[in-house]
Structure 1
Amino acid sequence: MTDRHPLDLPGLRPFWSAVHERLSTGRPVSRVRSGPLDDAGREALADLLGLDRLPGVEPTIPLAGLESAVVDACGRTVREVVTAILGPIPDRAAERERKAGQRDALWGWLAGHQVVCAQPVLMDWVGHLRTNGLVDGSPGRTRSLLTAALTVLAALPADGEPLPVIAARHLDGDAHALDDGTRLSGLVLRALAALYGTDVPDSAEARRALWSRAGVADDQLSATVLAVGLRLDGDGPVARVSRVCAEAGHPVSLTLAQLRSPGELAVPAGPVHITENPSVLALALRRFGPHCPPLVCTSGWPNTAVIHLLRRLGGDGASLHHHGDFDGEGIRIAAHVMAKTGAVPWRMTTGDYRSAAALVRPGPDPGRLTPAPWDPALVEAMAELRTAVVEEVIADALLDDLATGTR
């Protein structure tokens, strides 16, 4: 059994505990205020310090005087004595600094994650999470949960599959990881609300609606994509109907169900242009008729059918080029389309915007602005001019590009 330290007297225990606590802060200590001492403790402290009278019940002792008395009494420092009596002295200041560094690293990692950088509107989500702190106070557990949420967000919009199927595929086979009420489900839904500019869902019905908007268990018949000039090779039903419509100078509307079971289909190499508004497709058909180049419309925020078709076209070798409205929503839609399909911007630079804005100023306000990942200066120009420009304003320039194939 270890010998007891000669200064480890029962009456001095409250005093040594106070010293241990103060030294643990990691901050400079000049004096120590002790908790209540009984008579024996006051006498022992007076003996230690060489006082000619008893200290008070809750004495405040200068550390320098205590240090000198302790060294004289046992040849050890105060820190060595309290360590021997009560155990190692932690450095709480260093621990706080270490944890602060871990938190800063976590939020820096999240803000710089490729899913967030590709769709900067998600910085609103990052800001909310940072304000609300860590999961169970743990950077490690928080990062693990956020990694799972980002994995799901990267996989959305889904292809009309049920939520348990998506969870099992992307979250280590755990089909219940995204069940209603789980932390992970709440994280992803809050991110989707930020992405689509909607309120965070507060009911089971609203949550189902938001999941559906992200392509989870989507209606395969009501989710459609509108296109013109889409001449697909192959004898499958989707290829045949697209060619018939293109050769007749008509648009084609394809359902998600058709796109998921297209039959034989091959995509000719070459550019496919994407617009946000159906009116541009109508103008293209009026100008080009049966010779219209391939043009796909997102009809605002793209649904699952739109993303499915664009991914299929891009995956088979087509180059995708996106144009949208120059307003806050149009920038967010463009970032989403580019992030999810690999499309590149089409007449969506700062110079394009300034030229177009000169045609309509003063125009409608562009609304809430979030960064454009492909051209950081674009949103700065929009904030300066405060003018939205819809696609129809520059439709002639877009159609000229289609005619020449130069952009």
Structure 2
Amino acid sequence: MTDRHPLDLPELRPLWSAVHDRLSTGRPVSRVRSGPLDEAGREALADLLGLDRLPGTEPTIPLAGLDGAVLDACGRSLRDVVTAILGPIHDRAAERARKAGQRDAVWGWLAGHSMVTAQPALLEWVGHLRTNGLVDGSPDRTRALLTAALTVLAALPADGEPLPVLAARLLDGDSHALDDGTPVSGLVLRALAVLHGTDLPDSAEARRAVWSGAGVADDQLSATVLAVGLRLDGDGPVAEVTRICADAGHPVSLTLAQLRSPGGLAVPARPVHITENPSVLALALRRFGRHCPPLVCTAGWPNTAVIHLLRRLAEDGASLRYHGDFDGEGIRIAAHVMAKTDAAPWRMAVGDYRAAAPRVPTGPDPGRLTPAPWDGELVDAMAALRTAVVEEVVADLLLDDLAEHRLG
């Protein structure tokens, strides 16, 4: 059994508690207020300090004088005595700074993550999460959940997998990790809502629709990709269909099921251009017919079939070049396509925008703007001019570029 400190008197406990609390703030302390003290406490304090009369019931005591009195009484410092009586003195200011540093490190890591830098619209997601704070106040748990969410986002659009299968494949075999109401599911759905500029889905049906739009349990027949001039090598029926359509000067629409069917698919190692709008494909076919170079359309936000095809083409050596609308949504779609397929920008620089803007002097407002990772000045120019330039406005320039790759 440990002996009690000689100054550990019940009547002085309010004093030691007040000193312990003030020293634990981590800030400089010159005096401490104690109390309320009863008669015995006032007498004990007067004896300790050598006072010739009793202090008040809530006296303010200079710390230097108290430290000297304690040293004279037992030969130990005030800090040592309070620690012996009440336990270690903590530094709450340092602890707060440490925790703030841990929180800042989590949000700094998230803001600098490659997924966010590739699609800067996600900075809005980061800001929302930071405002709401750490999960359970834990930096480690928060980082783990965010890592899981980023893993899922990197895998989207999915290839038609059911949600439990996707979760099990990506998240340590846990098929329920993306169930409705789970933390990771909520993080991913909020990120997708930010990317697409939509409200957070507030019903089970709406959440299923968002997952479906991200390629989860996609209907393999309704998810299609439209292309012209695409001649895939291989002996399977899909490759043959692309060659027949291209040779006839017709577009081809391929379903996800066809793209995933057995049989080799490859394209000669040449540029494949990508547009956001089907009208550009129609103009290219009108101009080039069966001599049209390979051109793929995302038709807005790309579905699973689009991303699947573009990735296959890139894997077979095709260089992908993307063009889209110069408006807020178009910039986000472009960033998404480039992040998911490693496509390079095609006439999407700030100089291209400034040259095109005078063509639509009364053009529509570009809407919500987020940074373009491939050109730091582009969105600033769009914010200054407040003019959207859709692809059809510069279709002649795009077709002139395609003419250099014309077949035959």
Following superposition, the deviation at residue 42 of structure 1 comes to 1.9
Distance 1:380 1:299, change over 3 A: same
Name the structure 2 match of 1:89. Answer: 89
3-state SS of the aligned residue for 1:253? strand
Name the structure 1 match of 2:318. Answer: 318
Q: Distance in 2 between matches of 1:261 and 1:34?
A: 81
Q: Contact (CA 8 Å) 1:18, 1:34: kept in 2 or not?
A: yes
Following superposition, the deviation at residue 262 of structure 1 comes to 4.8
Alignment of 1:185-200 (within 5 A): 185-200=185-200
Name the structure 2 match of 1:63. Answer: 63
Q: Contact (CA 8 Å) 1:149, 1:184: kept in 2 or not?
A: yes
- Structure 1 window deviating more from structure 2 (238-247 vs 71-80): it is 71-80
Q: Give the letter for the 1:172 counterpart.
A: D
Q: Distance in 2 between matches of 1:178 and 1:161?
A: 13
3-state SS of the aligned residue for 2:116? helix
Q: Contact (CA 8 Å) 1:238, 1:262: kept in 2 or not?
A: no
Q: Distance in 2 between matches of 1:42 and 1:358?
A: 85
Q: Distance in 2 between matches of 1:189 and 1:270?
A: 37
Name the structure 2 match of 1:279. Answer: 279
Name the structure 2 match of 1:245. Answer: 245
Following superposition, the deviation at residue 384 of structure 1 comes to 1.1
Alignment of 1:129-278 (within 5 A): 129-278=129-278
Following superposition, the deviation at residue 199 of structure 1 comes to 0.4
Q: Contact (CA 8 Å) 1:25, 1:93: kept in 2 or not?
A: yes
Q: Give the letter for the 2:128 counterpart.
A: H
Following superposition, the deviation at residue 147 of structure 1 comes to 0.7
1:337 and 2:337 equivalent? yes
- Deviation by residue 1:144-163 (Cα, 9 ceiling, x = unmatched): 11111111111111011011
- Deviation by residue 1:76-114 (Cα, 9 ceiling, x = unmatched): 211111011111101111111111111111111100000
Name the structure 2 match of 1:113. Answer: 113
Q: Percent sequence identity over matched residues?
A: 85
Q: Give the letter for the 1:127 counterpart.
A: G
Q: Distance in 1 between matches of 2:196 and 2:376?
A: 21
1:27 and 2:27 equivalent? yes
Specify every segment of 5 or more residues in structure 2 that has no aligned partner in the other structure, as ranges. none
Q: Distance in 2 between matches of 1:53 and 1:222?
A: 92
Following superposition, the deviation at residue 54 of structure 1 comes to 2.1
Following superposition, the deviation at residue 13 of structure 1 comes to 1.2
- Deviation by residue 1:124-145 (Cα, 9 ceiling, x = unmatched): 1000000000011111111111
Q: Give the letter for the 2:227 counterpart.
A: A
Q: Give the letter for the 1:140 counterpart.
A: D
Q: Give the letter for the 1:238 counterpart.
A: V
3-state SS of the aligned residue for 1:376? coil
Q: Contact (CA 8 Å) 1:229, 1:295: kept in 2 or not?
A: yes
Name the structure 2 match of 1:379. Answer: 379
Q: Contact (CA 8 Å) 1:237, 1:262: kept in 2 or not?
A: no
3-state SS of the aligned residue for 2:290? helix
3-state SS of the aligned residue for 1:322? strand
- Structure 1 window deviating more from structure 2 (357-366 vs 297-306): it is 357-366
Name the structure 2 match of 1:348. Answer: 348
Name the structure 2 match of 1:43. Answer: 43
Q: Give the letter for the 2:132 counterpart.
A: N
Q: Give the letter for the 2:306 counterpart.
A: V
Q: Distance in 2 between matches of 1:155 and 1:99?
A: 32
Following superposition, the deviation at residue 44 of structure 1 comes to 1.0
Q: Contact (CA 8 Å) 2:266, 2:312: kept in 1 or not?
A: no
Q: Give the letter for the 2:129 counterpart.
A: L
Specify every segment of 5 or more residues in structure 1 that has no aligned partner in the other structure, as ranges. none
Q: Distance in 2 between matches of 1:219 and 1:128?
A: 32
1:395 and 2:395 equivalent? yes
Q: Distance in 2 between matches of 1:41 and 1:376?
A: 69
3-state SS of the aligned residue for 2:226? strand
TM-score normalised to structure 2 length: 0.97
Name the structure 1 match of 2:103. Answer: 103
How many residues align structurally?
406
Q: Distance in 2 between matches of 1:330 and 1:193?
A: 16
1:7 and 2:13 equivalent? no
Name the structure 1 match of 2:128. Answer: 128
Q: Distance in 1 between matches of 2:50 and 2:405?
A: 96
Q: Contact (CA 8 Å) 2:293, 2:405: kept in 1 or not?
A: no
3-state SS of the aligned residue for 1:402? helix
Q: Distance in 1 between matches of 2:333 and 2:244?
A: 30
Q: Distance in 2 between matches of 1:264 and 1:357?
A: 43
3-state SS of the aligned residue for 1:178? coil
Q: Distance in 2 between matches of 1:30 and 1:48?
A: 18
